[in-house]
Amino acid sequence: MKSFKRRWFLVAGALAIAIGVSVPAAQAQQPIKVGHSMALTGGLGAAGKAALLGLQMWVEDVNAKGGLLGRKVELITYDDQSSPATTPGIYTKLIDVDKVDLLIAPYATVPTAAIMPLVKERGLLLMGNFSFEVNAKVQHDMWFNNAPWHDAASWVDSYFLIAQKFKLKTVAFLVADQEFAQALGRGAKQIAAKLELKTVYEQNYPPTTVDFSSMIRAIRAAQPDIVYVMSYPNDSVAIVRSVNEIGIGSSVKLIGGGMVGLQNASVMESLGSMLNGWVNYHSYAPEKTMDFPGVKAFLERYAKKAIEAKVDPLGFYLPPFNYAIGQMIEQAVTATKSLDHKVLAKYLHENEMKTIVGGIRFGKDGEWAKPRVLMVQFRGVLDKNVEQFRQPGKQVIVGPAQYSTGEALPFDQARSK
């Protein structure tokens, strides 16, 4: 009996040792969970699907190198349907149920603004995804935006500098009644006032607007020199089509500015030659000044994957910047050997991140210390030809000066080229 008890204790002890050793080993092999929502349906869905592919490519690449801290990376994605009403619930689930290790923000301003109080209250690091001024009021010290802008001036200055070169005097504003557009609109109007430009037309419109004909006619009647538009994808398409059908008048020398959607391949292909002459913001164009290390190789790989995924075939706008989110996470985790959010935030604040969209340094507010919002002018665009946009010269960078590949032309002149 004593012999049996002794053997049992020996076995139990061996099991205890085995369990004690195996549990931490098993924990070490658990994936690092990176959670986020993405607009996969709704008005932002087309861009969101392309952005997700960029993130997935980073996960694929980092896992091929062995993951982070010896653990594979798992991306947990939920569709927020382009709606700010869904994101607080999604991120609460990511934090409390999925127990993710790291968080990436939704794509776009309005869905992200809805979760900023939550992440600040929880003291969590949040990698931003093309939002505008969502941290201006919240002042969360663990927010880091991948977007190449800062405040309204970083968007607007290059546009109005063109207006100064043309010696333009009057301006019309057409602004969606949404948080991003309204914030940008306020900044644009302040800058226009400082430049002593006279506002001859100003209109906010509901997000559900589909017919812009009356507004375009009103703008034409006001005879502005400049038209500054702040719109979302569906609106942007409708506005360009209305201008093409109705005409904007010979007084207008500069039109565009803050129109979301004109960066997407499907939109550019569908609008074709109607885009000629428009000047609008962008994050990347295949021009010589944008040849950052790794970006061409990324876009070549992306183009092949985009066919199978049935997403934006060009991928200029969001995918490289979403891949850059992963690169920044990778650099911070690797350098600090930590997943502690405060430790990672400190590293991101203090170091320049090396990415395929160039070097990124963050200011105190988590926005780019040196913003780089491009203004591109569409020129020589043909109808029904998406491949043309892979070549330089179709989206000429006309600002800021250090990235310019050509001078802006007046609207009517650029349309005739």
| Cα–Cα distance for residue pair 184/5, rounded to 1 Å | 78
| Cα–Cα distance for residue pair 191/135, rounded to 1 Å | 21
pLDDT at 13: 42
Taking alpha carbons only, the member of 219, 246, 171, 250 closest to residue 416 is 250
pTM, two decimal places: 0.89
pLDDT at 409: 97
Residue 19: pLDDT over 80: no
Give the strand order in the sheet containing 198-205.
198-205, 170-176, 226-231, 254-259, 279-282, 374-378, 395-399
pLDDT at 3: 44
Taking alpha carbons only, the member of 397, 133, 410 closest to residue 280 is 397
Lowest mean pLDDT among 5-14, 79-88, 279-288, 396-405: 5-14
Summarised one tens digit per residue, pLDDT across range 301-343 is 999 999 999 999 999 999 999 999 999 999 999 999 999 999 9
- What average pLDDT score do residues 357-368 get? 97
Summarised one tens digit per residue, pLDDT across range 223-245 is 999 999 999 989 999 999 999 99
The residues facing 377 across adjacent strands are 279, 396
Give the Cβ contact number of residue 17 at 10 Å.
10
